[in-house]
Amino acid sequence: MEPRGIGLSGVDPGIIRELSGIYKPFIKAFKELISNAYDADAKRIAVNIRDDFSTIEVDDDGNGMTPYDFHEGFARLGGSTAWLRDGKSPGGRSRIGYKGIGFLATARYCQALKVESHAIRPFIGSRPIEGRGRKVIPLREIVGDLVPADLVKDKVAITRMVATSSTGESRRLSPKDFQIDNRGNLRITSARALKARAYTINYKIDCRHLLLEASLDFDYILGLEHRGDLRVLADFCTVRYRPAAQGARSHTRVTLCGLKDFVVRELSAPRTKGKARNIVFKSGKEQFLWRLARTSPIRDDLSEEFSGESLYRFRELQEAADLPMLVVKWRSEEPITLLRPLYLARGQAIPFEETVVPVEIDENGLRVSGYLLARSEIIYPAELRGISIRVRNVAIGDASFLGWEHILSGPRKAAMSQITGELLVLDGLDAADAINPGRESFYEENHHYRVLKRALMGSEESIGGLVNKTIKAVLDRSRVRSQVNDKIVEARRRRKVLVDISSAVNYYARVEDPSARGLLNFFDTPIRADGLASSRDVPTRPQHKLAGFELENRVGLKAEVEIDYQRRKVRVDFAQDTWNTTIYLNGHYYEVLLKQGRPDHPICEFDNEGRRIFVNWGHPVKLHMDDTGFLKSAILLRLAYHAAPRDADAMMNLALNMLSFRAE
Ligand SMILES: Nc1ncnc2c1ncn2[C@@H]1O[C@H](COP(=O)(O)OP(=O)(O)OP(=O)(O)O)[C@@H](O)[C@H]1O
Ligand SMILES: [Mg+2]
């Protein structure tokens, strides 16, 4: 059969051009084909990118379209059938599409779209027909001429016929009143039926024997200039019918033909050298697969071994959802099944579980379930930062902070790079006035969106809500972490200074020098501290609390420190070397104690009987030095003084030597 043109009615070419511009970039247009397959109850969707990028096919095992469905639904602007079943697919899925412009999505990216479809279910139609006393009503008048009469003449069944009399009374006719003859025409066989002024005929057409092949010429339609061109729009879509194989299942195959150069360039782009962590720097293929997985209604990549407890409900919701498999064959590579990527904090120090802020909203008809994560690390890839909102299992736009990312500044803005989240809208937010045509964002004035935004972000005047709570958690963590870290660094530095002192003393006690002898002798002099010994201790370890968290001494800790954000505890093993305050001085272990002495107390005192060293933390010189510099100077100056008490030059020499000593 020759291909035939069918009309696209009543639209200005300019409008079509505008509409096709909604879906940017390519992947956001392409995902519409996946959405359509989902809406058609597909269990398996296969994407096939040809080796030379000449075509991309989307094959689905969904309900398919009869030629009539195709004409009424697909090749027509605004002809969505979503409204017929309360937004549900025949299989009971909540449909994503409802506007009937999705087929235009890919119009800017390829020259033509080919559609092959086969439906097992019959087309069901209804038509008012004038009576005028006709005995024979041609089939064409009932089912139209979309499919040539000889292809369907024995496939049409009248399921119900109602006659309306000239007085306006309606009466259902019985099968005895009419019949379909062998040419497929409707014959009115009873006298009373013939009297009717008009009929309403419900019919169904079995199209199982037909395979639809259609071609939509985008180059042609986007090339039209004027309103007047509308006359030629009939040429935009051509259809032909082929006999379907016996027992063939329903399916649809949509093929993008003649991909535009810029799309091919994008898809075949290599990854950006050196930069790897964010998706934008990846190769065209990786970007395509990642973005496709993020925008398609498929299962999340919640690996089996991942046992986040708070994900339990999330997992359950997903298992309950009827989600198709999406298999992609990229050029000559093996086909892969896509899973939707999300951030699970794999390999991070702080477990996923500890950073969860659960989200459960049930307000004014809006039901949302999910979570936010307040992470301690910066999230990579950056594309996973922000909150992803799924309506009817499809992510609306990219993850974001609903516009607040442009309002916040400073540390709170910075904290946003540590937040990710997944929200599933279970009820609401899916009316025609909720989501914009490209499914990129929500309409601000939508009631449910306002409810959601308030729950997440608080009121217009001040940020509150769950996101604020999450930001606070991030900032709180980084504050605690840096304060704890400061303490550890301080202790480590102190330990290092004590070890340095020990090396210096042990070295100079052995050199051939009179002051060395003095040093050796000093350790055996029975000397005792007086003033500082009785002064108040200056603790070298944090006491009870650290960064506002309860401090716990935990022997045998693996790490240097453990922060338990959930119980607000910091665990430190004070038995570790970092916290050691003893030093080894030529055969003796001394305990170093910091004391809050008076300004006129000595800078440091030795107690050779108790083997203790007291350092005067209240000495005025300390104000001029940092803690470790002071600690080192105080101890070594005092030692030099004891080693050469009667020789100022020798004392000075020894002090300077020991202070500047560097162990090999
Ligand atoms: N893969 C498919 N299998 C079966 N029917 C399909 C398929 N793709 C499209 N259709 C039919 O074509 C119609 C038009 O699709 P289109 O994407 O243009 O609009 P929509 O999905 O109804 O709404 P929206 O514009 O919001 O996506 C659909 O309503 C559906 O009936
Ligand atoms: Mg659609």
pLDDT digits (tens, 9 = 90+) for 176-194: 999 999 888 999 999 989 9
Q: What is the mean pLDDT of residues 464-493?
A: 94
The residues, ordered by sequence, that sit 6+ positions from 569 with a Cβ below 8 Å of its Cβ are: 549, 550, 551, 552, 563
Proximal ligand: closest to the CA of 99: 1
With 60 as the cut, is the pLDDT of residue 229 above it? no
Q: What is the mean pLDDT of residues 408-433?
A: 93
Determine the pLDDT at residue 41.
Answer: 97
Locate all alpha helices (DSSP H) within 509-596, ordered by sequence: 514-522
Determine the pLDDT at residue 64.
Answer: 97
Measure 102 CA to ligand 1 centroid, in angstroms. Answer: 6
Q: Distance (Å, rounded) from C-alpha 516 to C-alpha 642? A: 11
* Residue 134 identity: R
End-to-end CA distance of the chain: 93
CATH of the domain at 430: 3.30.230
Measure 18 CA to ligand 1 centroid, in angstroms. Answer: 19
pLDDT in tens, 453-473: 999 998 766 778 999 999 999
With beta carbons less than 8 A apart as the criterion, state whether 350 and 378 touch.
no
pLDDT in tens, 207-221: 999 999 999 999 888
Proximal ligand: closest to the CA of 74: 1
Determine the pLDDT at residue 103.
Answer: 83
Q: What is the mean pLDDT of residues 24-38?
A: 96
Please tell me whether residues 73 and 172 are part of one structural domain: no
- Ligand 1 lining (C-beta closer than 6 Å): 32, 36-37, 39-40, 60, 62-65, 73-74, 80-82, 97-103, 252
Please tell me whether residues 384 and 486 are part of one structural domain: no
Measure 479 CA to ligand 1 centroid, in angstroms. Answer: 51
With 80 as the cut, is the pLDDT of residue 449 above it? yes
Range of the domain at 449: 340-463
With beta carbons less than 8 A apart as the criterion, state whether 184 and 149 touch.
yes
Measure 34 CA to ligand 2 centroid, in angstroms. Answer: 8
pLDDT in tens, 529-577: 888 999 999 999 999 999 999 999 999 998 889 998 888 999 999 999 9
What angle do the packed helices 284-295 and 261-268 form, to 10 degrees? 100
Tell which one of 69, 74, 396 to mutate to probe ligand 1, the residue whose CB is within 8 A of the most ligand atoms.
Answer: 74
Please tell me whether residues 565 and 604 are part of one structural domain: yes
Among residues 469, 433, 342, 345, which one has the least CA distance to residue 395?
342
pLDDT in tens, 595-632: 999 999 999 999 999 999 999 999 999 999 999 999 99
Task: Name which residue sits closest to atom 14 of ligand 1, judged by CA.
Answer: 74
Ligand 1 atom, smallest distance to 64 CA: 4
Please tell me whether residues 228 and 195 are part of one structural domain: no
Determine the pLDDT at residue 474.
Answer: 95
Proximal ligand: closest to the CA of 61: 1
pLDDT category of residue 5 using cuts at 50, 70 and 90: low
Among residues 491, 509, 518, 506, which one has the least CA distance to residue 594?
491
Task: Name which residue sits closest to atom 29 of ligand 1, judged by CA.
Answer: 80
Please tell me whether residues 186 and 215 are part of one structural domain: no
pLDDT in tens, 99-133: 888 888 999 999 999 999 999 999 999 999 998 88
Q: Distance (Å, rounded) from C-alpha 261 to C-alpha 504? A: 73
Q: What is the mean pLDDT of residues 404-420?
A: 93
Number of domains in the chain: 4
Q: What is the mean pLDDT of residues 134-160?
A: 92
Burial environment of residue 186 by CB neighbours within 10 A (0 to 12, 13 to 18, 19 or more): buried
Q: Distance (Å, rounded) from C-alpha 330 to C-alpha 49? A: 5
Q: Please, what's the b/e burial string for 590-605 (b: 16 or more CB within 10 A of its CB; e: otherwise)?
A: bebbbbebeeebbbbb
Tell which one of 80, 116, 237, 394 to mutate to probe ligand 1, the residue whose CB is within 8 A of the most ligand atoms.
Answer: 80
Are β-strands 366-374 and 419-427 bridged in parallel, bridged antiparallel, or unpaired? antiparallel
- The reply to whether 275 falls in a domain is no
Q: What is the mean pLDDT of residues 347-360?
A: 90
- Range with the poorest average pLDDT among 78-87, 131-140, 396-405: 78-87
- The reply to whether 472 falls in a domain is no
- The reply to whether 295 falls in a domain is no
pLDDT in tens, 379-400: 999 999 999 999 999 999 999 9
Please tell me whether residues 515 and 622 are part of one structural domain: yes
Task: Name which residue sits closest to atom 12 of ligand 1, judged by CA.
Answer: 74
Please tell me whether residues 104 and 131 are part of one structural domain: no
Higher pLDDT, 313 or 642: 642
Q: Please, what's the b/e burial string for 412-435 (b: 16 or more CB within 10 A of its CB; e: otherwise)?
A: beebbbbbbbbbbbbebbbeeebb
Please tell me whether residues 425 and 350 are part of one structural domain: yes
Please tell me whether residues 217 and 365 are part of one structural domain: no
Query: Tokens at residue 124, please?
Result: 């069901």
Among residues 640, 650, 638, 635, which one has the least CA distance to residue 502?
635
Ligand 1 atom, smallest distance to 95 CA: 21
Tell the residue number behind the tokens 């991942």, with chain if given: 306
The pLDDT mean for the chain works out to 91
Among residues 405, 370, 366, which one has the least CA distance to residue 385?
405
With 80 as the cut, is the pLDDT of residue 86 above it? no
Residue 316 sits at φ, ψ, to 5 deg, of: -65, -45
Query: Tokens at residue 256, please?
Result: 């993008």
Determine the pLDDT at residue 233.
Answer: 60
Proximal ligand: closest to the CA of 72: 1
Measure 579 CA to ligand 2 centroid, in angstroms. Answer: 65
Measure 215 CA to ligand 1 centroid, in angstroms. Answer: 15
Ligand 1 atom, smallest distance to 439 CA: 26
With 90 as the cut, is the pLDDT of residue 502 above it? yes
SS3 50: coil
Please tell me whether residues 49 and 168 are part of one structural domain: no
Task: Name which residue sits closest to atom 4 of ligand 1, judged by CA.
Answer: 64
Determine the pLDDT at residue 251.
Answer: 98
- The reply to whether 523 falls in a domain is yes
Among the candidates 205, 230, 258, a domain finishes at 205
Ligand 1 atom, smallest distance to 63 CA: 4
Ligand 1 atom, smallest distance to 81 CA: 29
Task: Name which residue sits closest to atom 17 of ligand 1, judged by CA.
Answer: 102
Please tell me whether residues 91 and 129 are part of one structural domain: no
Among the candidates 224, 250, 268, a domain finishes at 268
Query: Tokens at residue 629, please?
Result: 């510099």
- The reply to whether 322 falls in a domain is no
Q: What is the mean pLDDT of residues 297-312?
A: 81
Determine the pLDDT at residue 399.
Answer: 97
Tell which one of 39, 86, 394 to mutate to probe ligand 1, the residue whose CB is within 8 A of the most ligand atoms.
Answer: 39
Q: What is the mean pLDDT of residues 587-593?
A: 96
Q: What pTM value is reported for the model?
A: 0.84
Please tell me whether residues 538 and 389 are part of one structural domain: no
- The reply to whether 113 falls in a domain is yes
Burial environment of residue 525 by CB neighbours within 10 A (0 to 12, 13 to 18, 19 or more): exposed
Determine the pLDDT at residue 655.
Answer: 95
Measure 365 CA to ligand 2 centroid, in angstroms. Answer: 25
- The reply to whether 84 falls in a domain is yes
Among the candidates 413, 436, 463, a domain finishes at 463
Higher pLDDT, 630 or 228: 630
Task: Name which residue sits closest to atom 24 of ligand 1, judged by CA.
Answer: 97
Residue 473 sits at φ, ψ, to 5 deg, of: -60, -40
- The reply to whether 279 falls in a domain is no
With beta carbons less than 8 A apart as the criterion, state whether 201 and 126 touch.
yes
Query: Tokens at residue 577, please?
Result: 């070397």
